[in-house]
Amino acid sequence: MRRPLIAGNWKMHFTVPEGLEYALRLRREVERYASAVDVVILPPAVMLWEIANALRGCPIEIGAQNAAWEDQGPFTGEISPKMLAGWCHYVLIGHSERRQLFNETDEELNRKLQAALRHRLKVILAVGETLDEYEAGRTAEVITRQLDAAVYGVELESPIDLSIAYEPVWAIGTGRAATPDYANETMGLIRRLLEKSFKRLASEMRILYGGSVTPANARSLMEQSEIDGALVGGASLKAPDFTQIIQATVEVVQSQRV
């Protein structure tokens, strides 16, 4: 059984004091679930150091929301994987907002992915189709293109080094989550694509669902055979909601062990 991963993407929310207060509250509520699930939070870059220190010794891991493809150089405003490696465990690459708002290409994301792995960061790679692509029946085509391009030439030492987050863009922040069956079917496609690149490792790699995950739908999503966790956006900004999603995941894991 693959160990579940729940990642909370804070996006551009919270000031540093607000983020610290939230992280400490989350620590109190989440530590009891550490034996059954991996929990990652992805704060804005300006507070990574403070939150990493505040959570030192805690099972909650820290991740960055983005990273550059170079170690250093004339890249104003960028943060390199080499800089992040000192206090981050994870990095999120390819979120749809980065693709759409900042015009990140599949080729750029491949370079970012390779740079992050080179510095021993675990990567959560996001892929997913827009509403127009979904309605045109192009989901498989889009995900195949995105995933094949992003992992081209990538070699993994361990299956936990790379997780894939399937985020249907039409579901992000809309309250309109994909149905569990549809998500599971699409994530099965992702695992088959991973098998082409990573062979036997693919069966151990984690595939997460992202897109309007809430306490109300978390359990039905986590019960699906191909769903190994969640990339949570809006619900990760409220400690009770995020904790309930983690709790639902743990309950599913425990029920499957009976």
Please identify which of the residues 78, 89, 95, 251 carries the catalytic annotation: 95
Annotation marks residue 167 as catalytic: yes
Interior/surface letters 98-111, b for 16+ CB within 10 angstroms, e for the rest: bbeeeebebebbbe
- Amino acid letter, residue 79: I
For residues 60 and 26, what is the distance between their CA atoms, to the nearest angstrom?
A: 9
Annotation marks residue 95 as catalytic: yes
Cα four-point dihedral sign 144, 146, 147, 148: positive
Q: Kindly write down the DSSP assignment for every residue of 41-81, as one continuous string.
A: EE--GGGHHHHHHHTTTSS-EEEES---SSSSSS-TT---H
Which residues lie closer than 8 Å to 242 by C-beta, 6 or more apart?
6, 8, 26, 232, 235, 236
The answer to whether residues 199 and 219 touch, using CB atoms and an 8 Å cutoff, is no
- Amino acid letter, residue 201: L
CA atoms within 13 A on the CB side of 236: 25
SS (H, E, C) 15-32: CHHHHHHHHHHHHHHHHH
Please identify which of the residues 61, 104, 129, 167 carries the catalytic annotation: 167
For residues 172 and 3, what is the distance between their CA atoms, to the nearest angstrom?
A: 24
Please identify every residue annotated as catalytic: 95, 167
